[in-house]
Amino acid sequence: MIKIKFAAILATAALFSVNASAIAKETTLNVSTWLPPTHVQNSAVWPTWAKWVEDATEGRVKVNIEYTSSNPTQLFQMVEDGVTDAAFSFHGFVPGRFPLEEIVELPGLGVNAEAASAAHWRTYQKYLAKANEHDGLELLALFAHGQGVIQTNFPVKSLADLKGKKIRIGGGIQAEIGKRLEITPVAAPGNKVYELMQTGVVDGVFMPMTEQKAQRLVEVAPYVTIIPTGMYMGSFVMFINPDFMASLSPADAEAIRSVSGERLSIMAGATWDKADIEAKKFAKENGGTVVELAVDDPMAIAYVEKTEGLDKAWLESVKDKGVDAKAALEMLRTEARAYAANH
């Protein structure tokens, strides 16, 4: 009887030991994010990736998505320092650090965000990674938002209407475009735009269509003007702390990488594309005026003329980066257009 009881005690202890071990091996991956909870990045992109991670690691890594009050510019440093494990941000928020990533922002690419994102990731792997602009971070994805559009509190009949107007820009190629359009640029995080518009600090903003719904900009910037050749695109990155990845088992770290990279880049771009389509409909249904210019419209022609030479200027700006930027730009455009033609 004593032997039976002792065996039962050992079995129970072993069970508790197994359970404790399982609990100890479960890791929480904390993601810091910004923009409203209803924004596509937070309502769809991060949750989808979180499910992929949890499935790929068989539940050993759980993703916790937290909203931060920090300026998105600070998220690069926060992840580097281990304050949070992962985040996303816009390359243009940190002037001078990521000039190579402006490659996807140049006007005239003529594709949607999904195609641009796939091409950006592939081009980065072949040409841009060697410059190590993301030192201190491990990349999860590179994606673009859809074509940027002009969103204002006044109708835009010609580019001359923008001259001197206070327009919020996000940095990167937008800054140079703003100079050429002779606007008064106002730099501010994307999640502050509604407030800036509502209080009259700015007269308009260059952002993708999705923000008409995601941030309800239709209420404060009801006039949308779309350049048919593509005004510009935005370069975003999702990233993770390398030390966090090193703290995982090799199998779990590789599982996370297997659901990131090109797969995550494409998913993010495609999800933002869908949000653009929904936002255009939302804007029209909620009193917005959406003007889609024809290719031969004088304003569209004038825009192409105003932005001529941006490719050359970008190539000049990155000539000391030690990469074949010209070949990278050719690859990006070839890959993007081929992807768009096949999807």
Q: What is the pLDDT of residues 48-101, one digit of tens each?
A: 999 999 999 999 999 999 999 888 999 999 999 999 999 999 999 998 999 999
Q: How confident is the model at residue 166 (pLDDT cuts 50, 70, 90)?
A: very high
Burial class, 10, CB count within 10 angstroms (exposed 0-12 / middle 13-18 / buried 19+): exposed
What is residue 10's predicted lDDT score, i.e. its pLDDT? 44
Which range has highest mean pLDDT (2-6, 24-28, 50-54, 191-195)? 50-54
Q: Is the pLDDT of residue 1 over 70?
A: no
Give the model's confidence band at 144: pLDDT under 50 very low, under 70 low, under 90 confident, else very high.
Answer: very high
Question: Per the domain annotation, does 182 fall within a domain?
Answer: yes
Lowest-confidence pick of 46-50, 226-230, 233-237, 296-300: 226-230
**Number of domains the chain is built from:** 1
Question: Do the Cβ atoms of 52 and 259 come closer than 8 Å?
Answer: yes
Cβ-contact 122, 193 below 8 angstroms:
no
Residue (of 273, 110, 88) closest to 191 by Cα position: 88
Q: Is residue 14 part of a domain?
A: no
pLDDT recorded at residue 25: 74
State mean pLDDT over 156-162. 97
Assign residue 132 the CATH number of its domain.
3.40.190.170
String of DSSP letters for 145-184: -S-EEEEESS--SSGGGGTT-EEEE-STHHHHHHHHHT-E
173 falls within a domain = yes
Residue type, 221: A
Is residue 17 domain-resident?
A: no
Greatest CA span in the chain, whole angstroms? 96
Q: Is 19 inside a domain boundary?
A: no
Task: Confirm whether pTM is higher than 0.95.
Answer: no
Average pLDDT value for residue range 118-137: 98
Provide the 3-class DSSP secondary structure of residue 144.
strand
- Classify residue 12: in a domain, yes or no: no
* Residue 175 pLDDT greater than 70, yes or no: yes
Query: What are the pLDDT digits (tens) for 66-75?
Result: 999 888 999 9
- pLDDT higher than threshold 70 for residue 138: yes
Cβ atoms within 10 Å of 11's Cβ, excluding its own: 10
pLDDT level of residue 172 (50, 70, 90 thresholds): confident
Mean pLDDT calculated for residue range 208-221: 96
Measuring CA to CA, which residue among 208, 215, 206 is closest to residue 144?
Answer: 208
- Supply the pLDDT for residue 19: 43
* Residue 188 belongs to a domain: yes
Average of per-residue pLDDT across 279-288 = 98
pLDDT bracket for residue 189 (50, 70, 90): confident
Average pLDDT on 172-191 reads: 92
Residue 191: per-residue pLDDT: 85
pLDDT of the residue at 8: 45
Q: How much is the pLDDT for 229?
A: 85
Residue 70 lies in a domain: yes
* Per-residue pLDDT at 4 exceeds 80: no
234 is in which domain, residue-wise? 26-342
Q: Kindly report, residue by residue over 101-117, the tens digit of the pLDDT.
A: 999 999 989 899 999 99
